[in-house]
């Protein structure tokens, strides 16, 4: 198939590399002045991987949209709305979009597919989401993993799963778009908390964090009308190893460096998602103690050790409350 991947950062370049690897004709689009794009354009490689000679690296948005029958978007989730305002000026009828980002819009609390639907008619141009665990550093070494594709459109997600499956990535059909999106976004907030525990030397508490985090997000998903069990799948709990433990997890590393008083320069989506989750918690009357604790740490106006230790030393209650 002809596929265009819009966004050429860490994940965008990995997606483009993967889709080319399994036999598609791929355009990799990026912003003209972005350092990631400039390096790929000049060298056909970045710090994670090398593109094949057949891949096209372009800053021409119109040409990239025209090329792809499938359009993958992999940019910062908080920039999706403004980006769609550019994209929807072109004829997109018959194309399929895939959102490969994990976030919730901070200002509105909307899931990314909901933001997409505000600008593009999904009857003519359906949209799916692609989430799940893994890091480019592992994929390029041939280490396999499993991911999820979900959509309101059953035929679209089945087509994408069939087309994108390989020995390197086993794709599963999602069946709960709310849970898939919220779970995938929220695991980054739990990743921040995990990094903070690492930075304080409280790594032993990660087991409790995983148990508590999954339950907390399950309650939110259920309140929003999704299936609470989705939090126990690949979109959330299944992504904990890559997010809460890996040295390559941006969110875990951000949390660790933050509590150590150091600065992490790369994108950590969980910073924005934390506030979006608290907004949803208020809207749906769901208590989110982990998200609230992370927010308090990031505000920097309370003792970090007190906040995080207090998270696990609350009033006595049963394990599954």
pLDDT tens for residues 77-94?
999 999 999 999 999 999
Catalytic residue among 102, 187, 206, 279: 187
Query: Residue 58 pLDDT more than 60?
Result: yes
- To the query of whether residue 260 is one of the catalytic residues in this protein, the response is no
pLDDT tens, residue by residue, 124-150: 999 999 999 999 999 999 999 999 999
Question: Which fold, 2-173?
Answer: Rossmann fold (3.40.50)
Alpha-carbon distances of 199 from 187, 207, 245, rounded to whole Å: 18, 16, 12
Both structure tokens of 292: 């609230």
Go through the chain and tell me how many residues it has. Answer: 321
| pLDDT number for residue 321 | 56
Are both 2-173 and 177-311 of the same fold? no
| pLDDT number for residue 81 | 98
Task: Give the CATH number of domain 177-311.
Answer: 1.10.1040.10
pLDDT tens, residue by residue, 209-263: 999 999 999 999 999 999 999 999 999 999 999 999 999 999 999 999 999 999 9
- The residue-averaged pLDDT of 149-168 equals 98
- Listed by start position, the domains of the chain span 2-173, 177-311
126 Cβ contact partners less than 8 Å away, ≥ 6 residues apart: 96, 97, 151, 152, 153, 156
Task: Give 314 or 233, the one with higher predicted confidence.
Answer: 233
How far apart are the C-alpha atoms of 54 and 75, rounded to whole Å?
Answer: 23
> Full-prediction pTM beyond 0.85?
yes
Query: Residue 313 pLDDT more than 80?
Result: no
């Amino acid at each position: 198939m002809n596929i265009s991947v819009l966004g050429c950062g860490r994940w965008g370049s990995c997606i483009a590399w993967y889709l080319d690897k399994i036999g598609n004709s791929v355009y990799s689009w990026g912003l003209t002045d972005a350092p990631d794009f400039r390096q790929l354009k000049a060298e056909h490689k970045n710090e994670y991987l090398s593109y094949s000679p057949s891949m096209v690296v372009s800053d021409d948005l119109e040409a990239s949209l025209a090329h792809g029958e499938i359009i993958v978007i992999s940019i910062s989730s908080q920039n999706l709305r403004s980006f769609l305002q550019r994209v929807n000026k072109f004829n997109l009828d018959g194309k399929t979009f895939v959102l490969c980002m994990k976030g919730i819009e901070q200002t509105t609390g909307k899931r990314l597919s909901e933001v997409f639907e505000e600008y593009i008619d999904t009857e003519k141009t359906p949209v799916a989401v692609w989430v799940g665990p893994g890091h480019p550093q592992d994929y390029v070494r041939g280490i396999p993993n499993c991911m999820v594709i979900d959509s309101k459109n059953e035929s679209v997600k089945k087509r994408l799963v069939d087309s994108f499956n390989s020995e390197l990535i086993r794709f599963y059909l999602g069946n709960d778009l709310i849970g898939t999106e919220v779970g995938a976004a929220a695991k980054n907030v739990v990743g921040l908390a995990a990094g903070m525990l690492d930075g304080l030397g409280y790594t032993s508490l990660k087991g409790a964090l995983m148990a508590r985090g999954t339950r907390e997000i399950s309650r939110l998903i259920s309140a929003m009308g999704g299936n609470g069990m989705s939090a126990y799948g690949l979109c959330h709990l299944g992504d904990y190893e890559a997010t809460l433990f890996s040295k390559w997890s941006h969110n875990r590393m951000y949390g660790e460096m933050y509590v150590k008083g150091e600065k992490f320069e790369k994108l950590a989506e969980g910073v924005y998602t934390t506030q979006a989750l608290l907004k949803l918690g208020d809207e749906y009357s769901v208590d989110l103690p982990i998200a609230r604790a992370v927010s308090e740490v990031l505000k920097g106006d309370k003792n970090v050790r007190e906040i995080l230790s207090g998270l696990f030393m609350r009033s006595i209650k049963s394990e599954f409350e």
